[in-house]
Amino acid sequence: MRPIRIHTSLRPRQRGVVLFVALIAMVILMLAGVALMRSIDTSSGVAGNMAFRTSSQAPVNYAIEKAVDTIYKSKSLATQNASETAKNYYAFIQANESTQGVPQLLTGAYSDMSTAYTSAGFPAAYSDSVSGVEVRWVIERVCNMAAVTPGEIIGHCDILPPKVPNAGTDNKYKPIPLPPIPLFRVTVRADIPNTNAVTYAQTFLR
């Protein structure tokens, strides 16, 4: 009597299922690894941006103080009605600014911006000796033209009313006419050379 042989495909099927499950597990582990790497890259980028922001504060403050000195302290401008690029000053708001209100001269890639900035007659960038951050700034009088008379300033510039003392004076009925006070916008760009890190700061002086 011959032995009965029974053929079954159970074992190959089991091997196929195990392989399929292993492949799915490998895909899941791979996706988890990619997600982890992206999370680490994002965290590193945020930390780097925060560090750059902190290191750029002192150079940005320097630029704003220089603008204050140019307009109010040393009053080194020959006249506020004429632009002096050698002193970072425009007598009116420049055209083609960005949607965020940044002058076109301070926008774009670092190499293009630095070339355009120098070609426009602005002085060399200030470089912080500690952080290596470079700052460039533009002072603009908030006017739509280079006004030449007080009357034109009133019609073409954003101005503040003259300051009047609270104490009583004998000029109540014959007040002394005071000139209008225009506003000035200072825009600062901070860069770390050979990187894509850029910080913008803007303030208004009055």
78-99 pLDDT, tens per residue? 888 899 999 999 999 999 999 9
User: What are the residue ranges spanned by the domains of the chain?
Assistant: 58-166+177-205
pTM above 0.75, yes or no: no
Going by C-alpha positions, the residue among 168, 173, 146, 167 that lies closest to residue 157 is: 146
Q: What's the rounded Cα separation, in Å, for the pair 50 and 47?
A: 5
Q: What's at 178, amino acid-wise?
A: L
131 burial (CB, 10 Å; 0-12 / 13-18 / 19+) is middle
Contact criterion met (CB below 8 Å) for 139 and 185: yes
| pLDDT digit string, tens, across residues 29-69 | 888 777 777 766 565 555 555 655 667 788 899 999 999 99
- Helix or strand or coil: residue 153? helix
- Summarised one tens digit per residue, pLDDT across range 124-159 is 999 988 888 899 999 999 998 887 776 777 778 887
Residue 72 and residue 64 in contact, taking contact as beta carbons nearer than 8 Å: no
Q: What is the torsional sign of CA 95, 96, 102, 106?
A: negative
Tokens 């055209």 -> residue: 95
DSSP code string of 131-152: T--EEEEEEEESBSS---SHHH
Per-residue pLDDT, averaged over 169-183, amounts to 67
